[in-house]
Structure 1
Amino acid sequence: MQPLVAPARQIETFAQPSVVRRAARPLCLALVCCCCLLLTACFEARLPDGVVAIVNGEPITLRRLQTLLDSRSPSLGAMRTPSLENMRREYGEALGTLIIYALVRQDLQRLQMAVSPATLEAAFNEVKNDYGGGDGLDKYLTEESLDPAEWRALLLDHLSMLAFEKKVLASGIRISLPELRDYYQTHEDDFQMPETLRVCLISAESRKDVEGFCAVFPGGMSEARKKVQLQCLNVRAGDLPQSWQKAAGALKPGQCATPRQEEGLWRGLALIEKRPPTQMNLAETYPLVENVLREQKMSEAFESWLEKTLAASKIKVAKDIAPDLLAVPPNRDARQGGEGAAAPAAPGGQDDGKALPVPHDEVYEGDIPEGGAGNGTVENQGHAPENGAVKAAPDQSHKRENGSAKRR
Structure 2
Amino acid sequence: MKKTLSLAMPFFALLVLAGQFCPVRAAETKPAQDKAAIVNGAVITTRELDRAVQGIQRSLLRAGRVVSPGKLGELRKRVLENLIEQELLFQESQKNGVKIEKARVNAEVERLRKQFPSKEAFEKGLKEVNLSESELRFYITRQLTIQKFIDKEFVEKIKISEQMLKDYYDNHKNFFKKPEQVRASHILVKIDPKADESQKAQARKKLETIKERVEKGEDFNALAREYSQAPSASKGGDLGYFSRGRMVKSFEDAAFSLKPGEVSDIVETRYGYHLIKVTDRKPPSMMAYLDVKEKIRQHLKDMTLRREEKQFMHELKVKSKIERFFDQDKEGK
1:194 is matched with 179
CA spacing shift, 1:59–1:279, aligned 2, 3 Å? same
2:162 matched to 1:181?
A: no
2:262 matched to 1:277?
A: no
Which amino acid counterpart does residue 286 of structure 2 have in structure 1? Q
Which amino acid counterpart does residue 226 of structure 1 have in structure 2? R
2:92 is matched with 107
How much has 1:277 moved relative to structure 2?
0.9
How much has 1:49 moved relative to structure 2?
5.7
For residue 51 of structure 2, the aligned residue among 45, 67, 72 is: 67
Do the aligned partners of 1:202 and 1:231 also contact (CA within 8 Å) in 2? Answer: no
* In structure 2, C-alpha distance between the alignment counterparts of 1:178 and 1:263, rounded to whole Å: 50
How much has 1:270 moved relative to structure 2?
0.8
Do the aligned partners of 1:199 and 1:234 also contact (CA within 8 Å) in 2? Answer: yes
Q: Structure 1 length normalisation: TM-score?
A: 0.60
Which amino acid counterpart does residue 70 of structure 1 have in structure 2? Q
**Greater Cα shift, 102-111 or 236-245:** 236-245
For residue 80 of structure 1, the aligned residue among 41, 62, 66 is: 66
* In structure 2, C-alpha distance between the alignment counterparts of 1:182 and 1:68, rounded to whole Å: 42
How much has 1:179 moved relative to structure 2?
1.1
Equivalent position SS for 1:146: coil
1:243-322, aligned counterparts within 5 Å? 243-260=250-267, 266-318=273-325, 320-321=326-327
> Can you list the C-alpha shifts for 1:333-379, whole angstroms capped at 9, x where unaligned?
xxxxxxxxxxxxxxxxxxxxxxxxxxxxxxxxxxxxxxxxxxxxxxx
Equivalent position SS for 1:254: coil
* In structure 1, C-alpha distance between the alignment counterparts of 2:171 and 2:300, rounded to whole Å: 13
How much has 1:222 moved relative to structure 2?
6.8
Higher helix share: 2
1:226 is matched with 225
Equivalent position SS for 2:114: helix
**Greater Cα shift, 107-116 or 87-96:** 107-116
* In structure 2, C-alpha distance between the alignment counterparts of 1:199 and 1:127, rounded to whole Å: 41
Q: Structure 2 length normalisation: TM-score?
A: 0.71
2:200 is matched with none
Identity of aligned residues (%): 20
Unaligned runs of 5+ in 2: 7-27, 190-202
Size of the alignment, in residue pairs?
283
* In structure 2, C-alpha distance between the alignment counterparts of 1:232 and 1:221, rounded to whole Å: 13
Q: Larger relative contact order (C-alpha < 8 A, sep ≥ 6)?
A: 1
CA spacing shift, 1:223–1:165, aligned 2, 3 Å? same
For residue 146 of structure 1, the aligned residue among 130, 137, 153 is: 130
Do the aligned partners of 1:213 and 1:225 also contact (CA within 8 Å) in 2? Answer: no
2:16 is matched with none
> Can you list the C-alpha shifts for 1:227-261, whole angstroms capped at 9, x where unaligned?
13214222224443222344324321111112356
Q: Which has the larger radius of gyration?
A: 2
2:19 is matched with none
CA spacing shift, 1:152–1:82, aligned 2, 3 Å? farther
Equivalent position SS for 1:130: coil
How much has 1:211 moved relative to structure 2?
4.8
How much has 1:157 moved relative to structure 2?
4.0
How much has 1:273 moved relative to structure 2?
1.2
For residue 236 of structure 1, the aligned residue among 233, 243, 246 is: 243
Equivalent position SS for 2:118: coil
> Can you list the C-alpha shifts for 1:157-216, whole angstroms capped at 9, x where unaligned?
443444344333211101011211222222122222211111112225732345545765
Which amino acid counterpart does residue 54 of structure 1 have in structure 2? I
Root-mean-square deviation (Å) = 3.4
CA spacing shift, 1:303–1:285, aligned 2, 3 Å? same
Which amino acid counterpart does residue 258 of structure 2 have in structure 1? L
Do the aligned partners of 1:256 and 1:269 also contact (CA within 8 Å) in 2? Answer: yes
